[in-house]
């Protein structure tokens, strides 16, 4: 059954407690932001096929798996990212940086459909990080999870630049 009827009264539960919280509680904003980001990464991963960038699909899928761990941790489960998760993401950024020219400036998103989608995911990633941090005073979140969320936006920025470079698309900076 894909529904439980438990939330019909506008409440929802978290792991390890029988307490029900209003669905407009900030914790659900954070969990929802993580879910939205994960779904958007799924769209990015699916678009990589069209651009023949198959090697990046695994990197994005690993990021999606990590977001599920962060969601579980935030919801009260005994799950947590390790420093290895953060290191893997940093190594991916370092590897991509070796393949692209660092623009040293802001980039106007949308040189290609894929780079634009990855930049959109980067922006959602940054918002997600802010929302998760905002509930960290009332719900436990590890320093590795917050570090991971911080690195994820850098990873997505690097992927967007790589996608544009692979398509030989000219990216531009704002003229202000």
Give yes or no for a contact between 34 and 70, defined as CB atoms under 8 angstroms apart: yes
In the prediction, which pLDDT does 16 show?
76
**What would the CATH number be for the domain defined by 22-99+107-166?**
1.20.1200.10
CA distances 71 to 6, 14, 65, Å, are 20, 11, 10
Mean pLDDT over all residues of the chain?
93
pLDDT of 71 strictly over 80: yes
**Predicted confidence band at 57 (pLDDT cuts at 50, 70, 90)?**
confident
Residue indicated by tokens 């290191």: 87
Residue indicated by tokens 């623009």: 103
Cβ-Cβ contacts under 8 Å for 9 (sequence gap 6 or more) = 20
Q: Where are the domains of the chain?
A: 22-99+107-166
What is the distance between the alpha carbons of residues 109 and 114, in angstroms, rounded to a whole number? 10
Segment 123-134 mean pLDDT: 98
DSSP assigned state of 21: E
Give yes or no for a contact between 154 and 102, defined as CB atoms under 8 angstroms apart: no
Question: Could you tell me the pTM of the whole model?
Answer: 0.93
**Predicted confidence band at 113 (pLDDT cuts at 50, 70, 90)?**
very high
Give yes or no for a contact between 30 and 38, defined as CB atoms under 8 angstroms apart: no
pLDDT of 2 strictly over 90: no
In the prediction, which pLDDT does 17 show?
78
In the prediction, which pLDDT does 53 show?
74
Segment 71-93 mean pLDDT: 95
């Amino acid at each position: 059954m894909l529904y439980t009827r438990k939330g019909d009264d506008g409440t929802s539960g978290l792991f390890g407690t029988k307490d029900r919280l209003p669905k407009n509680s900030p914790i659900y904003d954070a969990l929802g932001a993580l879910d939205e980001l994960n779904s958007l990464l799924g769209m990015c991963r699916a678009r990589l096929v069209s651009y023949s960038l198959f090697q990046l699909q695994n990197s994005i899928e690993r990021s999606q798996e990590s977001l599920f761990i962060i969601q579980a941790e935030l919801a009260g489960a005994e799950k947590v990212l390790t420093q290895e998760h953060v290191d893997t993401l940093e190594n991916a950024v370092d590897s991509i940086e070796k393949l692209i020219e660092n623009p040293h400036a802001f980039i106007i998103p949308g040189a290609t459909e894929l780079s634009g989608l990855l930049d959109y995911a980067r922006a959602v990633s940054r918002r997600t990080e802010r929302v998760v941090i905002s509930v960290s005073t009332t719900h436990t979140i590890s320093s590795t999870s917050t570090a991971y969320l911080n690195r994820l936006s850098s990873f997505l920025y690097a992927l967007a630049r790589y996608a544009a470079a692979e398509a030989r698309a000219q990216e531009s900076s704002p003229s202000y």
